[in-house]
Amino acid sequence: MYFDVHNHLCQYKNPEEIIMQSKSIGVTIFAVSMSLKDCLRTLQLAGAHANVRAFLGFHPMHVAGKKFRMEFLEKVDALLEKQIHQVAGIGEIGLDKYFFKEKNFDRQLKVFDFFLNKAEELRLGVTIHGKDAEREVFQALSTHDIHPIAIHWYSGPEDLLKVGVDRGYFFSLTPAIKTSPKHRHVAEFVPLDLLLTETDGPYKFRDEHGRKTIEGVPMMIPDIVNEIGEIKGKDFEEVRTQLAENAKKFLK
């Protein structure tokens, strides 16, 4: 019925409880990874629960950090080869100039290219992070034959938003759709057949009073669907059905 296409499931204190609550209302979780440890845990959770799909990747913030080693790529490569039957996609991958500015950006580029090559080789979709590095991300994507591509929580330039739509990229919307004018603009601009829903949980979102206190959970997905319907001026069920079809195409 519903899909949370970008969720850091293994980062919750109680992932099993989150999975059961999601299952009770019909939410399928696309569990993304940030590190090698995440990849291993995500595969475990996906192997144990029918409503969880595993996405493997290294977040650019992890790649830019002091503890990252390039040999981690060999380990995730072996993991992809050994457990490819359990892997639904590649992510969360990308580039970031917001949290680390341009620290270790060359390393970020190398790791991003590694995962794009793996996605192309294995014919898997990708979920992309590009905070303040959208132009570099879109340039890198243009040099690979990868389908489908989901741009996670887009907040970049207007011209690239148009480029993404022209290329057929999906754009995933979070609970920030209720409070962020920029996020609402993405919902308005992007055609319904290129939208997806996500929570980026357990990231915490601002409530209507501006306090960053609400943990993102898959159970918020129906509210996002409803908000998209109001923005698009469409019936809830029509929107829910289309978004589910979009998620299935992304999952392949």
Q: What is the CATH number of the domain that holds 26?
A: 3.20.20.140
Beta bridge partners of 94: 129
Helix 36-48 vs helix 72-82: crossing angle, to nearest 10: 20
Torsions phi, psi for 56 (to 5 deg): -110, 135
Which residue ranges of the chain lie beneath pLDDT 70?
Answer: none
Residue 98 CB: number of other CB atoms within 10 A? 14
| Structural contact between residues 228 and 239, judged by C-beta atoms closer than 8 angstroms | yes
The domain total for the chain is 1
Rounded to the nearest integer, the mean pLDDT of the chain is 96
* CA nearest to 20, candidates 47, 51, 54, 41: 51
Q: What is the pLDDT of residues 160-182, one digit of tens each?
A: 999 999 999 999 999 999 999 99
Q: Any idea which residue has 């809830």 for tokens?
A: 236
Q: Please state whether the predicted TM-score (pTM) of the whole model is above 0.75.
A: yes
| Structural contact between residues 4 and 201, judged by C-beta atoms closer than 8 angstroms | yes
Query: In which domain, by residue range, is 110 found?
Result: 2-251
Q: What is the pLDDT of residues 26-46, one digit of tens each?
A: 999 999 999 999 999 999 999
| Structural contact between residues 152 and 128, judged by C-beta atoms closer than 8 angstroms | yes
Beta bridge partners of 28: 3
Beta bridge partners of 150: 127, 170
According to the model, what pLDDT value does residue 8 have? Answer: 98
